Amino acid sequence: MTYCLGIKTRDGLIGLSDGRITSGSQLSSARKVTMMGSGGDRFFILNSGLRSVRDKTLAYLRRDMGKTRSESYATMLDAVTAFTRCLRQVAAEDREALEASRLHFNLHAIIGGQLAEDREPYMFLVYPEGNWIEVDERTPYLSIGATAYGKPILDRALMYDTDMATALKIAYLSFDSTRVSSNDVGYPVDMVSYHAAARTWRQANFDYDNLVEQRMWWNRNITELARRMPNGPWVDALVPEALRLREEPA
């Protein structure tokens, strides 16, 4: 299992992926975000699913990109079309053998970027069959893998107009919620950001110890917010007066 998240806001794009790899009782780490292209004409690919399918699909995509002079594509639509073509080729070659070994052919991908002829950044979710959907302003994120645990904070707090700094914090909290509730998701965490106005990319990798301050702040404050929530008649009806907090929440 894994957790990958792509966000599109008015400021640009954010990509996040956990780095934990599980195989039986064995734990290891690997990057699940891949940057493709060169210079300013780059895009990210986040993957969840069988690693062998991922590696072969990306190898085919790199091969095909190497045949072009620019080593990239004119638009993100061209890029996602090329990726799905490679994915379907891998499916045609490997699906039967995988399923004979009782392995489900599975690869989901989030692909985002802004290429030379794109008027704005674009982001897509690609399914194992090769079909895809595009993110929109009403739901400005896409997630794959263990998606249930990190979804509530995204639905409550993230909007298309959210500034990038806040969106990055929400992305981290979504990952942290997933990490706490799923043994198959964990550090290190890889993050990329694309700033649309400057058309520039940034990348960073964080381990468990790098985010201690943020993790402790969130744990402390989410507990304090629960304590400060007004009691109301429903709490009064269920908790004996002697057990209620002596002071009403501010």
Global pTM reads 0.89
Torsion of CA 24, 28, 32, 35, to 10 degrees: -150
- Residue 84 burial (CB count, 10 A): 20
Could you give the CA distance from residue 18 to residue 61 in angstroms, rounded to a whole number? 23
The string of pLDDT tens digits covering residues 196-234 is 999 999 999 999 999 999 999 999 999 999 888 888 888
Listed by start position, the domains of the chain span 3-206, 210-250
Place of tokens 């700033």: 195
Q: In the CATH scheme, what is the code of domain 3-206?
A: 3.60.20.10
Long-range residue pairs from 199-206, CB within 8 A, at least 24 positions apart, any chain: 199/40, 199/114, 200/40, 201/35, 201/42, 203/35, 205/19
pLDDT tens for the 250 residues of the chain, in order: 789 999 999 999 999 999 876 544 444 456 789 999 887 789 999 999 998 999 999 999 999 988 766 678 999 999 999 999 999 999 999 999 999 999 999 999 999 999 999 999 999 999 999 999 999 999 999 999 999 999 999 999 999 999 999 999 999 999 999 999 988 898 999 999 999 999 999 999 999 999 999 999 999 999 999 888 888 888 888 888 767 665 555 5
CB 41 within 8 A of CB 30: no
Q: In the structure encoding, which two tokens stand for residue 68, read together?
A: 């072009």
Distance of alpha carbon 154 from the chain centroid: 11
Non-local (6+) Cβ contacts of 167 within 8 A are 7, 9, 11, 14, 158
